[in-house]
Amino acid sequence: MDGTLDHVMMRVEDLEESLDWYQTHLNYEEKGRWEADTFTNVFLGPEDVHEDGALLELTYNHDGRSYEMGDAWGHIAVRVPEDALQESYDQLMAEGVEDYRDPESCGNRYAFVKDPDGHEIEIVKRDQGAKWSIDHTMIRVEDADEALGYWTRKFEYTEVPGRWEADTFANYFVAPEDAPEEAMKVELTYNYDGRSYEMGDAWGHLAVRVDDLDDAWETLLDREAPDYRDPASCDHEYAFTKDQDGHEIEVVVRD
């Protein structure tokens, strides 16, 4: 199983507004599109995204529905050079992006903004990968040991540098053992107070790339991953499982 993170999907209420936002402020370009009768999927990323870099999938449903953000999904994080956090943040502010958490309030280590639908976007200092490329996606988990075990057993991920143990929470980063540093990681956030989370529907899924869909699916079932949507139910183009908290994970072969 390859296991590289291929993309992260979020749902949007106004596709043209969202496309304009990501193309204007993060300099994303359209990498692919799927027009169906009831929805549209658009894949975005920087022009020079790494071959193992993750894309952002925007899903627009044609029926005009609205979405609940929930709190089981946290954010995507995008990269800027180590010495360019404040400059990049100031640029976004000058362009009219919503100010959520500025660098100073975050110890000048990172910052946060929001897109038109309220999805949180962290800006992190990284010298690897294209500017604005996706560094990680953060999800909240109710049992850290169970979550780490899930990614280790099901997808053969390992914990990578970045662990942060605080007084009230911990962050753990996982990725395939041999993933290049330009690839996206999963950040597992565990709060110590025993809270539970609402999934909402404004976030969709993480997608894991595999070499052979049917073989990977059989391996996942052997490892007791939930059978949510098998390849046959998805015309053998992809499949879906879920983690221990219900976050959806797509299994896909990238062309």
Give me the pLDDT at residue 12, please. 98
Angle at alpha carbon of residue 181, lines to 74 and 247, rounded to 5°: 30
| CA nearest neighbour of 117 among 17, 207, 228 | 17
Are 154 and 220 spatial neighbours (Cβ–Cβ below 8 Å)? yes
| Domain residue ranges in the chain | 5-252
Give me the pLDDT at residue 209, please. 96
Are 130 and 48 spatial neighbours (Cβ–Cβ below 8 Å)? yes
| CA nearest neighbour of 43 among 61, 35, 51, 31 | 31
Give me the pLDDT at residue 1, please. 72
Are 172 and 148 spatial neighbours (Cβ–Cβ below 8 Å)? yes
Q: In terms of CATH architecture, what is 5-252?
A: Roll (3.10)
Tell how far CA 235 is from the center of its chain.
24
Q: Tell me, letter by letter, the H, E, C secondary structure of 1-24.
A: CCCCEEEEEEECCCHHHHHHHHHH
Give me the pLDDT at residue 156, please. 96
Q: What is the largest CA-CA distance in the chain?
A: 52
CA distances from 155 to 4, 57, 185, 210 (A): 9, 21, 13, 10
Show the tokens assigned to 31: 């990498």
Tens of pLDDT along the chain (255 residues)?
779 999 999 999 999 999 999 999 999 999 999 999 999 999 999 999 999 999 999 999 999 999 999 999 999 999 999 999 999 999 999 999 988 999 999 999 999 999 999 999 999 999 999 999 999 999 999 999 999 999 999 999 999 999 999 999 999 999 999 999 999 999 999 999 999 999 999 999 999 999 999 999 999 999 999 999 999 999 999 999 999 999 999 999 976
Angle at alpha carbon of residue 96, lines to 185 and 106, rounded to 5°: 45
Question: Does the predicted TM-score (pTM) go above 0.85?
Answer: yes
Radius of gyration of the chain (CA): 18
In which order are the strands placed within the sheet that holds 169-176?
98-101, 110-114, 120-125, 73-80, 134-141, 185-191, 169-176, 157-165
Give me the pLDDT at residue 41, please. 98
> Which is the catalytic residue, given 57, 122, 182, 250?
122
Give me the pLDDT at residue 185, please. 98
Give me the pLDDT at residue 98, please. 85
Stated as kind and residue range, the H or E segment containing 47 is none
For residue 122, indicate whether it is catalytic. yes
